[in-house]
Every structure is written in structure tokens, then in C-alpha cells.
Amino acid sequence: MKKNTNWIIRGGRVIDPANKVDDIRDLWIYDGRIVEPDSFDAESAQIFNAEGKVVTPGLIDMHVHLRQPGNTDAETIRTGTMAAAAGGFTTIVAMPNTSPVADTAGAIQYVKEFAQREGMVHVLPAGALSVGLKGEQMAPIGSLKNAGAVVVTDDGRCIQNNELMRHVVEYANNFGLTVLDHCEDRSLARDGVMHEGYWSVLLGMKAMPSAAEETIVSRDIVLSRMTGAKIHLQHISAKNAVAMVRQAKRDGLSISAEATPHHIALTDVEIKRFDTNYKMNPPLRSEEDRLAVIAGLQDDTIEVIATDHAPHTQTRKLVEFDIAPFGIIGLETAVAVTLTELYHKNFLTLPQLISKFTTGPARVMGIDAGTLSIGGTADVTVMDVNANHVIDSSNFYSKSRNTPFNGYAAAGQVVATFVDGACVFMRPCEEF
């Protein structure tokens, strides 16, 4: 990896939604910071030829499972952040469902310190909402915030006790923390393994209705109205859930939402393959739901795209569909898939798409990231939005290979990633 932090990224189309920039220009980096052109000796800088490429603020993924501490057979902070760099992400948020759970200040401190030593990108820890993610007792949210947690969530689980959830969001709000919620009513979802609809009936599979998601989305909207708390709804996938979020935003509530690349690109028809790499929670839903998610991205009802990167070993996934774990990896495919499905199919412009990975998550979490402002940290992503290629999971940096996008024909890929001005990933390039 190159440690030089003085660069001139030359001749790219610079898109910075935060500063409303969309122009062909050079980007100057000195000592790891974005600087004005000609403000330092150009001879000390290395040149990156970005002609024909798109240069953006470093991408943010606010929904990543790094598995460490605990399940390091599937992923580690080192391999997960290498995958993030290869995917164009310069900042990621680590979910708390590790072993032990990140429900103590010590667990948060461990992630921070290990990531500083071993990480290739910025790792921001998320703290748990409840002790042990059990949904029975509120975690020490103030201590988690003081230790460095940037958000709180029981991701992968959902607090079912509405009274407890009310107290949790009120307490988190007192500390200025956004609550991230995995919206799932367990009494409705029960032991389902796919979306309830035409294909679940045809395949004879246990199913999860959209109502399981919609019930908790409705609950969280009510709690936000009651308390004024900021609640972010993770991986929204159902048509009616999108509609509820849209109305909540119109009503001025502090509600935000994210979508994943797999819910943007895929539907439940894929389950007929009985391939466990199509098993995730929330499940792949109908084409009507998929189009509703895209419409939500178009009108900014959904302001964030996040991967829900969830590594599992091959051994854990190579079992019957019913007993396989939920989840897929996504850090190294997100840009390619969303460029193909949203930009090249004319659903979103490039500035709109880039905002879902930059200003959207930065605003939701209240962090200083996702811009190319002068004087700011030089976290930068360079893309070739027209590069035609076939995704090959055997080349991934992630420890795991559980992706439904192996063999996917994509248009667009990440070329280089800079963190604090240092190049942490570069695709082979003759021009460099």
C-alpha cells in the first residue's frame, strides 16, 4: 500500500453532493487533506490520472458486520476493511452483534483500538440498544457514547417490547445518538425463510409477510412522533413500509431509511434456485416491492444505501435452505450493482446515487464525512462508471464468499480508494 499523502488526482469528473460540485477538475491533496489548487509544491505530489473517471467523496457504509471479536472464521476487522477499501468505502459502521456483544464501553474500545491498528479504512463502532441484544434491558447507552459509539442498534434483532423501545429511543436521543432499527415483528415473521407471496406458496417454503416489517416501521414512526428521537430504519424492503416512511418525512418526523443493493437488484423469484446466497433478512421481496424501494430512492424517501455486509463461512451456508443463516456480503459489489441497476437504467443520476453513499449516511449519523470540502480529510473514491466486467467472488478481499452476485454482469467499478490521503486500494491501471 502506498503511504504517500500528497496527490494530484487529475482530470476526473468530481462529484461532491455536499458542496453541489459536478465538474471536470483536478483534486489536490496535501498531507492527507483536500487543499486549494497550487497551494503546495506540485513536484512533491504523485499524479493519479482520473481522466474519464468519476471522483467522489469517500463512500460511507453505515451497516457492516465485521464479526470481530468472535466469528473470525467468517471475517476480521482486517479483511473486512480491506474489502471495504476495494469497494470504495472509506468509512464503515461496525454492527454490535459480535461475541461478546458491543454492549459495554470495553467492547466499543476494543473495536476502536483494533481498527486503528489493523483497519484499512475508518471504522466507527455501533453500540447495542439492549444488553446482550436480548431486548430485555437497556444497554448503558451513555457509556457506549462516551466510549465512541456513533449510533446504537440491536441490528439482526428487534426489540419487541414497545415500552422498552420507547425508553431506549428517549435515552439515546438525550445523548444525540441515532437509533438504527431492524424492523421485524417476530410474532409475524416467526420461523419464515423467505418472503410471503407467490413464490413461497409455489415452493412450499415457510414465509415472512411484509407485515412483519411494516408493523415495526409503524411502531418506530409513532415513537419518533412521541419522543422527537432520530430513528433510522434499516434495510427497508416492503412497498407499504416505503409509503409509511414517505408520509413520516412529509410530517416532519426524524425518520430516515436505507435500502440495500440486493433489495434494489433482486426479487424472491431467485429463491427457486434454493441457493442459500439468496437467503437474507429481510428477505428478497416481490417485483412490486423492489420498484417501490427504487421509487423511494428517487424521491429521497430513502436517503441511504447500505450493504448489510454479513459474512458467513462456506460451511455454514452449504446446508439446506431452511437451516442456513441469513445474510450475504456486499462491500465489494455495492458500487458495481447500484451503478448497473440505478444509474445505467436511468433511475438515479450520478450525483443522486453518490449522495446515497455520502451525504445521506453522514447526515443520518451526524458525522463529519462524505465531502470533498477544502481543508477536510482526503477520503476519496475514484470510479470507472462504464467499466464492463463480470463479478468474480474468488477475487474478493473478504474472508467469505456468500454473495448472490458472483457471475453478475456489471457496468461500473471502483478504481481507487484514498483514506486520509493514502491510497489503500488501486485497481491495476497503466496510466498510474
- Give the catalytic positions in this structure: 308
Q: Cell numbers of 181, please? A: 432499527
Q: CA 58 to CA 35: how far, in whole Å?
A: 16
Three-class secondary structure of residue 429 per DSSP:
coil
DSSP of 178-212, one letter per residue? Answer: EEEE----HHHHTT--EESSHHHHHHT--EE-HHH
For residue 37, count other CB atoms closer than 10 A to its CB: 11
The helix/strand/coil state of 414 is strand
Place of cell 466486467: 389
| Cβ neighbours, 10 Å, residue 307 | 29
The H-assigned helical ranges of 323-374 are 334-338, 350-357, 359-365
Cell of 376: 477536510
Rounded to a whole number, what is the distance in angstroms from the first to the last CA of the chain? 14
| Distance from the Cα of residue 311 to its chain's centroid | 14
Can you read off the three cell numbers belonging to residue 217?
416501521
Asked whether 114 and 83 are in contact (CB, 8 A), the reply is no
- The helix (H) or strand (E) run that includes residue 34 is strand 33-35
Q: Roughly what angle, to the nearest 10 degrees, separates helices 239-250 and 210-227?
A: 10
Any alpha helices (H) in 76-197, and if so which ranges? Answer: 77-86, 105-118, 141-147, 162-174, 186-189
Please say whether the beta carbons of 414 and 86 come within 8 A: yes
The residue among 337, 342, 203 whose CA lies nearest residue 268 is 203
